[in-house]
Amino acid sequence: MTVELSRPGDRAPILELARGVGVFDAEEVAVVAELFDDYLRDPIQSGYNFLTDRVPDTGAVLGFACWGPTSLSRGAADLYWIATARNVQGRGVAAGLFRAVEEAARAAGRWLIVIWTSSKPDYEAARKFYQRMGCELSCQLADFYDRGDDLMVFVRRL
């Protein structure tokens, strides 16, 4: 596995992966596409960075992460998504991507990684993953996304 900056050719596999992974609805996949295009156009100006975990030999995309410096903040970076292809889950792809995001955020002078996520049962595995990665649940806002769907904020201090 090799984590590196995403390339234009990763667009289709990333969107396919996002669709296949079962937690992104159509609206969210459209947001991934939009941010990926912004990233390709100008990673600095857009504020979005995509990382791809790929098999070196075949180039197959195993997972991706999207993060960026939080606007109006000097210290925070938002981790928007980490997603692993269904057929390679449980092999440490997401952990490798998370560590790569930590490294990139640290290199960008950031000291916090912030994850804004949902309390829905669909995200239970994601929440446990963030906690394994050293994140703390710092905030929960009831009914933020929808009735019964809270905002949960996890923070990793670098």
Do 102 and 113 meet the contact criterion of CB atoms below 8 Å apart? yes
Regarding 23 and contact with a copy of itself (CB under 8 A), the answer is: no
Please state the closest distance from residue 78 (CB atom) to a copy of itself, in A: 11
Of the pair 8, 147, the CB lying nearest a copy of itself is at 147
Regarding 31 and contact with a copy of itself (CB under 8 A), the answer is: yes
Do 38 and 21 meet the contact criterion of CB atoms below 8 Å apart? no
Please report the DSSP string for 50-81 in residue order: EEEEE-TTT--EEEEEEEEEPTT-SSEEEEEE
Regarding 114 and contact with a copy of itself (CB under 8 A), the answer is: yes
Q: How far apart are CA 8 and CA 33, in angstroms?
A: 12
**Considering only residues 58, 72, 90, 107, which one is a binding residue for a copy of itself as defined by CB under 8 A?**
72
Q: How far apart are CA 35 and CA 37, in angstroms?
A: 5
**Considering only residues 43, 46, 47, 75, which one is a binding residue for a copy of itself as defined by CB under 8 A?**
75
**Considering only residues 2, 41, 111, 124, which one is a binding residue for a copy of itself as defined by CB under 8 A?**
111
Query: How crowded is the C-beta side of 77, counted as CA atoms within 13 Å?
Result: 26
**Considering only residues 55, 108, 125, 141, which one is a binding residue for a copy of itself as defined by CB under 8 A?**
141
Binding segment for a copy of itself among 34-42, 87-95, 121-129, 147-155 (CB under 8 A)? 147-155
**Where along the sequence are the contacts to a copy of itself (CB under 8 A)?**
27-28, 31, 70, 72-76, 111-112, 114, 138-141, 143-147, 151, 153, 155
